[in-house]
Amino acid sequence: MAYAAVVSLAQTLEHINHHHHQYCCIPLICEEQLFESLLEKLSFLQAFLEDNAQIGVETVEGLEGRIRDLAYRAEDIIESHVSDQISSEQERYVDLELQNSEKKEVDLQLVMEETDSIVEQVMSIQNSCTVEDVQCSYASALPSSGGAPNDGNKMVGFDEDILELKARLCGESSTLQIISIVGMGGIGKTTLATNIFNDSLVVYHFHIRVWTTVSQNYHLRQVLLALVASLTDQKTTDLSNMMDEELAECVYKTLKGRTYLIVMDDMWSTKTWDDVRRFFPDDHNGSRVLITTRLSDVAVYASSSPLHQMRFLDEEWSWNLLRDKVFEQQSCPPDLERIGRTIAQSCGGLPLAIAVVAGILAKVDRTPYHWEKIVENISEAVASNAEHFSKILTLSYDRLPCHLKACFLYMGGFPEDYRIPVFKLTKLWIAEGFLKPSRPKSLEELAEEYLEDLVKRNLVLIVKKRSNGKIRFCGLHDLLRDLCMQKARKEEFLHVANNSGKGIQNQRRLSIRFEISKEIVDKCASVSPIRSILYFHWYIASLSFLRGYRLLRVLDLLEASLDSLRPEITQLFHLRFLALGLDCPKLSNRLKVPPSISKLHNLQTLMIRADAILLLPIEIWEMPQLRHLIFFQERGLPSPLDAAPSGGHVLENLQTLRVDNFRFTSTAIETMPNLKKLKVYYYHLFVAVWTEYCLSNLVHLYQLETLNLLFINSLIYKENPLPASFALPPNLKKLTLSGCTIPWRHMTVIGSLPNLEVLKLRDNAFTG
């Protein structure tokens, strides 16, 4: 997690630089020369971490851990000093603050010395790692070629896949076809390709069949050697004197004029295809190239025909595969079938997981008691009994670019089978500081790209899409989630807490799924620099423990039930993401958010679920870093006019707003110039809604892309004409109208929107 830690630290320093007036009492940090020097070294380390895959893992063993710990320590020193400064100003403990400041400056100086030491080590590695070293590392993983692996695996549940692919391979199309099989590790791509490669019809149809396993450590010469060795029945050692061009010519001439099938198993990059495609002649004789890959981008790039996307087995086929693996030709005893079906279902439709579990079951006594033991912890049984299985899943993680690893591991913090809302996940990634800014793209756009990349790598599942094709909910396969938790715990990145509090030491983030006890939170505060808490239980007795977590960035209590926004929360100066579940106190249907919420100067996302009318303070318009203001029930948001009568406060970062009965005055519009998503509910309304709530001013939200106007329990039963010259924001891409009772003759207002992609009209949106 070194890369994510360095990116986060760099963003923290940049933030201090851009808001130096808030941090003027931190002389060591704000000293320009030191500041620029530290940023320059962090940039150097970022570049090194981005490129270290080319150098080799062994070369940098232990170094990433040093870089990670350095970045964590520096960020803790800087932000704890800021907290001390804020506390001393509020409580006027000036002498104590000066003492702490001196200590922090000494600590930070030690960090600078450690940074210099690491930079020197990195430069030494770069100078000693030559091109020849890199090529030697590739040569250590020689691609295999020749016949397909023949492990006797009979495909269960993929009969339709086999028939479809055989038809495409042996079909009437005479042009060279490149067909890609794509799916996550362990889903059966290689087994499917093997069954097809060895099928009697395929053997008869093609004059030449060659199987090449490319693997992740690709090097062109090794692929050429493997292909020539297979095509000419020569040993690779006998071909070592041939130049690359001679090998390539040999492949081309051998295939020329003959009907061939080349299988390239486990391809990891588009560069591989760019390098080898010219060796495969197209003589319009029905030749085929079959590729297997985990990466959808690679499959799309190489394929000349539709992709073959692997799917998970359903419950019935999962049981059939498990039964056949365990009992072979024998029948399953009735008293084991129910338990066996439960075990098969727990594998999540992943054939490799089912095969591993079958191997475990084959070694234990065939009794309900022993099988029930397997059911109790299927994931642990798989992980501890299948080194090959673990390597296959780990390989997908190891091959991730460094900027995606933290985002992927973070998803392990959500509960099993959890439908993860994308709008929430991306905001959490941003708050954590995982994303390296890349203008002109916004951080939100980058986060969506990161998620799409993880989906294309078949590591993240799409649970539900939005009407515009974007992902609404996503999730993880249970076994990939287990991988996330294992890696995250090992990296001291995130820990899924248990009732004992075991394993918490040095962890940066906590995921909690049970009622939290005082003993555990006290232990966490004493042994770990906790930066994030994801809480997935409905009850929480007290938030007093937060006093020990003053460096928190993320506090997700959306699924909890609090009776108010407690004062402990508003003391968390570094908080960037705050999600709360609030229950209305007895004898009241209103909940007030205190003005002290404005103390959270760094807050980016405020998300509140309440079972009552939520009353927000004027001071909410004084939070300059606010990007997303989201409420799930009726709320009262005051106009920013009272907060900034002179128009002094502008929330330039505000992108998402959900409000009720809100008046879009000129001042309000000027306060949120970069708003991209707006959802407004209007309750109990009369006819003059468009004028009363200044909705004609919406046209001046030039960055707005998504607009929802929802009239609920409206008293409007007749036509509600739009004002003269009414127009909607010109850059709208998605528009939802409900209960507006607009006359159909005003439909031209919508028809004039040049960028509109999605239009939803609900519940008398138009009438007449």
pLDDT tens track for 92-103? 544 545 555 666
Segment 315-321 shows an average pLDDT of: 93
Per-residue HEC secondary structure of 37-56 comes to HHHHHHHHHHHHHHHHHHCC
571 versus 391: the higher-pLDDT residue is 571
Query: Is 80 exceeded by the pLDDT of residue 536?
Result: yes
User: What's the pLDDT at 229?
Assistant: 86
Tokens of 603: 């807050």
Burial 258-283 (b: 16+ CB within 10 A, else e): ebbbbbbbbbbbeebbebbeebbbee
User: What's the pLDDT at 702?
Assistant: 94
Segment 575-587 shows an average pLDDT of: 84
| CA pair distance 253, 249, nearest whole angstrom | 6
User: What's the pLDDT at 715?
Assistant: 56
User: What's the pLDDT at 1?
Assistant: 84
329-370 confidence digits (pLDDT tens): 788 999 999 999 999 988 889 998 888 888 888 888 889 988
263-301 confidence digits (pLDDT tens): 999 999 999 999 999 999 999 999 999 999 999 999 999
Find residue 631's DSSP bridge partners.
608
Query: Is 50 exceeded by the pLDDT of residue 399?
Result: yes
Average pLDDT of the chain to the nearest whole number: 84
Among candidate residues 297, 616, 584, 603, the one with its CA nearest the CA of residue 427: 603
Tell me the percentage of the chain whose pLDDT exceeds 90.
43
Segment 8-16 shows an average pLDDT of: 89
Query: Is 90 exceeded by the pLDDT of residue 662?
Result: no
Contacts of the segment 29-36: beta carbons below 8 A, 24+ positions apart: 29/78, 29/81, 29/108, 34/112
| CA pair distance 459, 456, nearest whole angstrom | 8
Query: Is 90 exceeded by the pLDDT of residue 667?
Result: no
59-83 confidence digits (pLDDT tens): 566 888 899 999 999 999 888 888 8
Dihedral, 319, 323, 324, 326 alpha carbons, nearest 10:
140
User: What's the pLDDT at 455?
Assistant: 95
136 versus 549: the higher-pLDDT residue is 549
Half-sphere exposure of 647 (CA within 13 A, CB side): 8
168 versus 384: the higher-pLDDT residue is 168
Question: Exposed, middle or buried, 136 (CB in 10 Å: 0-12/13-18/19+)?
Answer: exposed
Query: Is 70 exceeded by the pLDDT of residue 663?
Result: yes
416-471 confidence digits (pLDDT tens): 889 999 999 999 999 999 999 888 899 999 999 999 999 999 999 999 999 888 99
Burial 410-419 (b: 16+ CB within 10 A, else e): bbbbbeeebe
Tell me the percentage of the chain whose pLDDT exceeds 70.
83
User: What's the pLDDT at 149?
Assistant: 62
Query: Is 90 exceeded by the pLDDT of residue 543?
Result: no
38 versus 296: the higher-pLDDT residue is 296
